[in-house]
């Protein structure tokens, strides 16, 4: 019997990370933050002095990544890279740009496929990313593609960073998100797009709670809860 999987894909700033975490908490399922894996590969590459375009070097890092995930409480993630906590460091815009860059490398994506699939364990998995439903878990019984307007995604990210004390330009964020969307959607391997059987949820005018309730309702319709 296959472990039940809910995939939640979408572009940067769509809220998929927050929604995925809350859905996993409500269901008491495991959580896969695939974006964190790519951010960790990029960070590890920088720390090892790899050239930005070194595909084989980054693929080696991906295969041997010493990483662990945890949580101090229900809302605060903890991520360790080679024994050092990097929870905040991998959530910067620089780390996000690095993740988008290495995610476009076929060698890195291939190295991480089986590692991501190994997260599917009982009682179930909520998988957050950009190709969870289309590539990693094509047999998932519920696939959600969460999106929002580019302006709204930039505004949300701006607020998130300001709340953390990071001073950043909204205009610059908007430009970065547009560039990341272009790169993610046009890469030759696993481009960002909804799976053919995904349900598209536009969160532009919805609260986080409303999106979570929508996903849980869809899960109930499919007898996953």
Identify the CA nearest to 111 among candidates 74, 136, 139, 89. Answer: 136
Q: Where are the beta strands (DSSP E) in 72-214?
A: 77-81, 84-85, 125-129, 142-147, 199-202
- Domains of the chain by residue range: 5-218
The class level of CATH for 5-218 reads alpha beta
Sign of CA dihedral 124, 128, 132, 136: negative
pLDDT of residue 4: 96
pLDDT of residue 28: 93
10-residue block means of pLDDT along the chain (225 residues)? 91 89 93 91 95 96 85 66 90 86 92 91 94 94 94 87 79 85 81 91 95 97 91
pTM of the model: 0.83
């Amino acid at each position: 019997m296959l472990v039940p999987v809910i995939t939640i894909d979408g572009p940067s700033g769509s809220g998929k990370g927050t929604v995925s975490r809350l859905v996993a908490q409500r269901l008491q399922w495991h959580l896969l933050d695939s974006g964190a894996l790519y951010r960790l590969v990029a960070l590890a590459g920088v720390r090892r002095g790899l050239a930005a375009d070194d595909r084989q070097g980054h693929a080696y890092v991906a295969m041997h990544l010493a990483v662990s995930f945890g949580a101090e409480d229900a809302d605060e993630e903890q991520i360790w890279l080679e024994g050092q906590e990097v929870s905040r460091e991998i959530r910067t815009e620089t780390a996000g740009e690095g993740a988008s860059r290495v995610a476009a490398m076929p060698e890195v994506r291939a190295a991480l496929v089986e590692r991501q699939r190994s997260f599917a364990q009982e009682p179930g998995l909520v998988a957050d990313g950009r190709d969870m439903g289309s590539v990693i878990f094509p047999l998932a019984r519920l696939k959600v593609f969460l999106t929002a307007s580019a302006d709204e995604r930039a505004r949300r990210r701006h607020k998130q960073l300001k709340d953390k004390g990071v001073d950043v330009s909204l205009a610059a964020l908007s430009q970065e998100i547009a560039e990341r969307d272009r790169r993610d959607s046009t890469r030759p391997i696993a481009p960002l797009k909804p799976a053919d059987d995904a349900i598209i949820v536009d969160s532009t005018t919805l609260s986080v709670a409303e999106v979570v309730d929508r996903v849980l309702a869809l899960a109930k319709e499919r007898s996953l809860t």
